[in-house]
Amino acid sequence: MLRLSAEQATRGARNAAARLQKAHVSQGDRVAFCVQIPQDPVRSAFEQSLLLQTVWGALRIGAIPVMVNPQLPSAEASAQVIDCDSKMSITTAAALNELVSEASTVGSADSESFAARPMHYTSGTTGLAKGVWTGFLAPDQIARWWADEQDQWGFDSSDVTLVHGPLSSSAPLRYSLLVLAAGGDVLLPGKFDPHAIASALATEKPTTAFTVPSHWQRLFALDSLPASPYRLVAHAGSACPPKLKRRLHEWAGAKSVWEFYGSTEGQFAACSGLDWESRPGTLGLARQGRRLFTENDVIWCETPDYSRFEYWRDPQKTAGAWKRTPNGGSAFTVGDLGRLDEDGYLYLDGRREDLVITGGMNVYPAHVEAVLSTIEGVEEVAVFGVDDDVWGQRVSAVVVGSASDELIATVAAAHLAGYQRPKSIYRLAEIPRNAMGKIQRLDLPQYLANRPEVTKSGKSGPQRIDLIS
């Protein structure tokens, strides 16, 4: 576990900024980062620190870091590096080390303000990944964008954030940079390991962390977990099962736990644990400076001018994501479906792309998952559609846990309409997820098809049980 202080990070970022300028990288240029993190935890933590400092250095001179996930297949990662039209591509730890370590007085690397926002590619859960970036912002817009995040989470120089996810993803990178900018420290484990995280909780006493639900599934599976040192635990990325959510509240205290609803494109809502306890299932109220509304069940977010984004080199997709509002503002959508209660609290039904249409009826996976996740013995569940000659799509589910098939069928019959109930259950030891812990529902049919199907008495492969023929 490596502890990176704001002082160390600032010094490394200044070096990196100056070296990038010496290499003729200037404001508006894109710098692609795609650096494999090694398995060795000490080395990988050190390389994470180099990555953070270099990204911060690029931001200081107005360059746009493009974060490419190094866990992607090499052809896909290379395609993104090419697609972003980068001025420089950084693919090795040696290149990072050279930029951070070598001091230089070239250029105006002493700027204290962020000059841009990193560019990320969407996770690809809804098709081909697209680059998301803010375009070129004026200095006052940049300042307001970072102030918006700081105001939401209240980071200061006393904070220590413990990184759980990969820094190629937007939220772990953003949280780390925000804490460093506030003068705090960042704890870098290299890669997520529940035992290392548990040890850091006891010895390093972090005050904040961004997490996804699968992190807590693995942490609570340990024999024991130290008492929570957190003043703020934020989670997002995928739906959190109610039982897991309540356990997190018991461990950290509901007032210290926050869930936020957002995407690579932007932030919609935030919900304190106390609000969730009084309104189970809600994702909270609109983030400050934003307004939520729905049209035909699609969630829209009216957002400040500094939060506008574009899809890289895709004006048609960009135009489809935005609309003018009656008061002259702009609102965006990522196609998610949901509803608002009378007090403005948001409830998510799911992504339009995840929608299962069976026999002409719409089934929202999130709704079915919410019902099944209440069953004792269901640790995780993912609902998805499989092509069916009769129904168009067949509602199916992957279940992790010890709940019996009979219990699942009974609860489904009691709380779901016939067309909403899973017709097939697949038993797995764990649900496949991407690097950020998100379930790739659209990929589940192919994932299962590539593994030998077995009966309940089988010894390997996913186990399929047909509840309804």
User: Mean pLDDT for the chain?
Assistant: 88
Q: State pLDDT tens for residues 2-56.
A: 999 999 999 999 999 999 999 999 988 999 999 988 889 999 999 999 999 999 9
**Equal fold, 2-346 vs 355-466:** no
Structure-block tokens of residue 292: 């939520």
Closest by Cα among 295, 228, 237 to 267: 237
Specify the CATH architecture of the domain 2-346: 3-Layer(aba) Sandwich (3.40)
- Only one residue has tokens 């017709």, namely 423
Q: In whole angstroms, give the CA distance from residue 259 to residue 239.
A: 10
- Break the chain into its structural domains and give their ranges: 2-346, 355-466
Amino acid code (one letter) for 406: E
What's the pLDDT band for 126 if we cut at 50, 70, 90? Answer: very low
| pLDDT surpassing 50 at residue 111 | no
Q: What is the pTM of this model?
A: 0.81
Q: State pLDDT tens for residues 252-264.
A: 999 999 999 988 8
What's the pLDDT band for 459 if we cut at 50, 70, 90? Answer: very low
By the 10 Å C-beta count (0-12 exposed, 13-18 middle, 19+ buried), 308 is classed as middle
* Inter-residue contact 372 to 381 (CB < 8 Å): yes
Helix (H, G, I), strand (E, B) or coil at 219: helix
Q: What Cα–Cα distance (Å) separates residue 34 from each residue in 67, 87, 143, 166? A: 7, 14, 27, 12
| pLDDT surpassing 90 at residue 393 | no
Q: In whole angstroms, give the CA distance from residue 312 to residue 319.
A: 12
pLDDT of 342: 96
| Class of CATH domain 355-466 | alpha beta
